[in-house]
Amino acid sequence: MIEFSADDEVYWVREWPKNNLVIDDYSGVNFSDLEDETPHIHMEKLFITAVCCQIIHICVWKTPATQSCAARNVLKQLSMIMKGWFIGVLLGECLNPEKVTFEYDARAPCLMPATGRAST
């Protein structure tokens, strides 16, 4: 179901399966930026992306908090990577979180990304 182009280093869905996860055909909705897909398929992709991102959010952030700053940073990175994967592959868009901050702990390796902003 998911294709990979080694030349472009991009993942994408070539043929969207006919699952009919959403009932309406959304023919009355104007999606001017859709190229090769119908409004129905686009709404299915939005629905599946939202469900996958919500599952990741619940699995990562609704579990008991860890005591380790490093573990919290890794969980935050994992959450962003997984959400970015679904948004990129299914919708062809990028994930640009605006207010993401990572924790810095001078007592031990905090596993904060080099580009991450530290919060105290």
What total of structural domains would you count in the chain?
1
14-45 pLDDT per residue, tens = 777 776 777 776 767 776 676 767 777 788 88
Look at residue 28 and tell me if it is in a domain. no
Look at residue 25 and tell me if it is in a domain. no
Look at residue 4 and tell me if it is in a domain. no
Q: Which residue has the tokens 């104007």?
A: 30
Look at residue 27 and tell me if it is in a domain. no
Bridge partners, residue 118, by sequence: 102
- Residue 84, pLDDT above cutoff 80: yes
* This prediction's pTM: 0.65
Look at residue 14 and tell me if it is in a domain. no
The range of the structural domain enclosing residue 47 comes to: 39-120
Look at residue 29 and tell me if it is in a domain. no
Among 42-51, 89-98, 105-114, which stretch is predicted with the lowest mean pLDDT? 105-114
